[in-house]
Amino acid sequence: MFTKEIDMQELFFQKLKSKSSDSLFILKEFNGRFGNVDIVKIKISNRKINTYQAQLLSQPRFAYTVSLLHKNSPRTLEYLILKTKNCKSSQLALLKLLIEANIVVMTITDII
């Protein structure tokens, strides 16, 4: 048994880290929307991201919106506004930047 949560977390982190590769990363203490996440597993496709894309995705508001668009799931603007708690104009501006940065590739030109 573990006497402290941090000891259990460290063992879990080391086991996951041993399975990391060039396209699979394990990070500790990732700063997310609702605080620090203890451990994050990131799988990167063969597609590289540029510095600007990395800067956008390092900001929680952009990363959270992208996380809501995972696995090509269709999402409405209303759904994104409800989940992110952004006003319509802020969410549209955020989506526009993600599209211009080639992070979000589905066009929503009808609503922007």
Give the C-alpha separation, 13 to 85, whole Å. 32
Mind listing the pLDDT tens digit for each residue in 50-87?
889 988 888 889 988 988 887 666 788 899 999 999 99
Mind listing the pLDDT tens digit for each residue in 26-49?
777 665 555 666 777 777 666 677
Better-scored residue on pLDDT, 110 or 79: 79
CB 33 within 8 A of CB 84: no
Residues 21 and 3 reside in one and the same domain? yes
Residues 56 and 41 reside in one and the same domain? no
Residues 40 and 82 reside in one and the same domain? no
Residues 59 and 38 reside in one and the same domain? no
Domain boundaries, position 79: 48-112
Residues 74 and 111 reside in one and the same domain? yes
Overall number of domains in the chain: 2
The type of residue at 31 is: N
Residues 70 and 85 reside in one and the same domain? yes
Residues 58 and 104 reside in one and the same domain? yes
- Backbone φ/ψ region at 93: left (φ over 0), alpha (ψ -120 to 50), beta: alpha
